[in-house]
Homo-oligomer: A and B are copies of this chain.
Amino acid sequence: MRSLPRCVPRIVLGLLLFRAAQAAEPFPQAVLDQARVIRERALSDDVGYDLLRSLTTEVGPRSAGSPGDARAVAWALAHLRALGFKNVHAESVKVSHWIRGEARAEITAPWPQPLLPVALGGSVATPAGGIEAEVVPMTTLAELAAAPAGTVKGKIVFFTQRMQRTHDGSGYGTAVAVRGGAALESSRLGALAVVIRSIGTDDNRLAHTGAMRIADSVRTIPALALSNPDADLLENQLASGQSVRLRMLNTSVWGDSAQSANVIAEVPGAARASEVVLLGAHLDSWDLGTGAHDDGAGVATITAAARLIGEARPAPARTVRVVLYANEEHGGQGSRGYVRRHGAEIPRHVMAMESDLGAFPVLGVASRVPLDLLPVARTMASLLAPAGARFLGNEAGGGSDVGPLGELGVPLLDVHTDAAPYFDLHHTANDTFDKIDPELLRQNVSAFATLAYLAAQYPGDFGRAVKPKPAR
């Protein structure tokens, strides 16, 4: 802990001491008791599971700007109203709109074989007749950057890096740079197109899509993802030492920007209604599956959690706000739109939480609160100990939707779930409702409901959170 500067006025010091005293016994016993009631009630509540069945059955794929996206907004408004939330409304967001076409790829030499690719999000189309060229393998962007000039010119670059399967999701953070930069960096060097080994950890013949970086100054080139089995096959052919050629076709195009919306619903606070505990998830999904884990599970989790809080008596002091964000996957306009529209209100956002890692086992809770409030965060996390959750420190970052609120100082709580199975399904056609374990979904609802209730009832002030260290 930093030592206090000499000029700290006595009144501030007094407040800090008061806060420390609070932290020792941060919650009245009645609040803790009620939190435990909510926690247990969630474990036998199937509102979330039923919502998720409804979303995946009646809406399904809902990529930004698509007809499914519009249906999802209508679905959310109807269901949030039916569940008794207040102030249910849509806040219009202009979203980018990429339209997936057909993607094909086949090895033409030395041994012809078909592959089952998918286009990466934002990939431009090939010429109508496709592209056929020699394949140049590269492990990572660093290897590409270090390659002799001309290595990839006129070629199809194949990025072979394999994502590691980890419980904390760190394998994704390491691997995803290739997806983001493959097309951009290869185009700078004159490549015709790229294929990448999917950023995913399963061995199914279902490739993983996802967003890419683009730059106005660089011509974009077609980019496909291959499943791990197809990437293995291509590597096995390359291992022969012979020239390997690929033919690929993609008919995806960018459409005009489209209208979508963040959908918002509230459980109004009883005593401090202007103070907001925000629960976020994203309503859009990639288009290959039905977005069951990504992020239908998040939509279901936070909605069911907020509903349980709304049923609690006495009602929570602060307002619990559900925000279903537009286009997390392919532009992030929902998150930015929320910050823009609610800028004046953000100082009264006392806590933000995001569910966007599927409905898998809850492993722990991380916070980002002022350091003197760490005991409060620890107490909150300790209520999830019966589910096996540990307190994981004060390095919470939020997800991509509430992270920007964190950057503005809003305290955060992250519920860490097992990321290993998530990245088997993430951004594939396999992300479907049958993969949802209702018990694990209830466990997630329980975690969010418990923590959000405590945040809404905390008698003190969470203040503004310390900015994370740059090294993080």
Q: Which A residues lie at the B interface, using CB under 8 A?
A: 53, 56-61, 67, 110-114, 116, 203-206, 228-229, 232-233, 236-237, 240, 289-290, 428-430, 432-435
Contacts and interface: CB of A to CB of B under 8 A. Distances in A.
A289 B203 CA distance: 13
B59 A111 contact: yes
A229 B233 CA distance: 26
Nearest to A435: B203
Nearest to A428: B205
A51 to B, nearest CB: 13
Contacts of A57: 111, 233, 236-237, 240
Contacts of A229: 430, 432-435
A205 B206 contact: yes
A105 to B, nearest CB: 14
Contacts of A434: 203, 228-229, 232
A61 B113 contact: yes
B232 A432 contact: yes
A167 to B, nearest CB: 21
Given A205-B206, A233-B290, A111 B432 contact: no
Contacts of A205: 206, 289, 428-430, 432
7 contacts: A57-B237, A67-B112, A205-B289, A205-B428, A205-B429, A229-B430, A233-B432
Nearest to A432: B229
Nearest to A235: B57
A114 B100 CA distance: 13
A111 B58 contact: yes
A370 B110 CA distance: 51
A297 to B, nearest CB: 15
A435 B56 CA distance: 30
A242 to B, nearest CB: 10
Given A53-B236, A434-B232, A60 B111 contact: yes
Given A60-B113, A60-B233, A229-B433, 9 more contacts: A53-B236, A57-B233, A57-B236, A57-B240, A61-B113, A205-B428, A228-B434, A232-B433, A236-B433
A204 B430 contact: yes
A360 to B, nearest CB: 15
Nearest to A113: B60
A229 B112 CA distance: 31
Contacts of A206: 204-206
Q: Which A-B residue pairs are the 3 nearest by beta carbons?
A: A60-B113, A229-B432, A205-B429
A423 to B, nearest CB: 15
Nearest to A59: B111
A2 B206 CA distance: 57
Nearest to A114: B61
Contacts of A433: 229, 232-233, 236
Nearest to A430: B205
B204 A204 contact: yes
Contacts of A110: 58
Nearest to A431: B205
Given A203-B435, A205-B429, A435-B203, A233 B113 contact: no
A432 B226 CA distance: 14
Given A113-B290, A204-B206, A289-B205, A56 B432 contact: no
A388 B305 CA distance: 50
- Interface core residue of A57, A58, A289, A429 (most chain B CB under 10 Å): A57
Contacts of A232: 432-434
A429 B428 CA distance: 15
A428 to B, nearest CB: 8
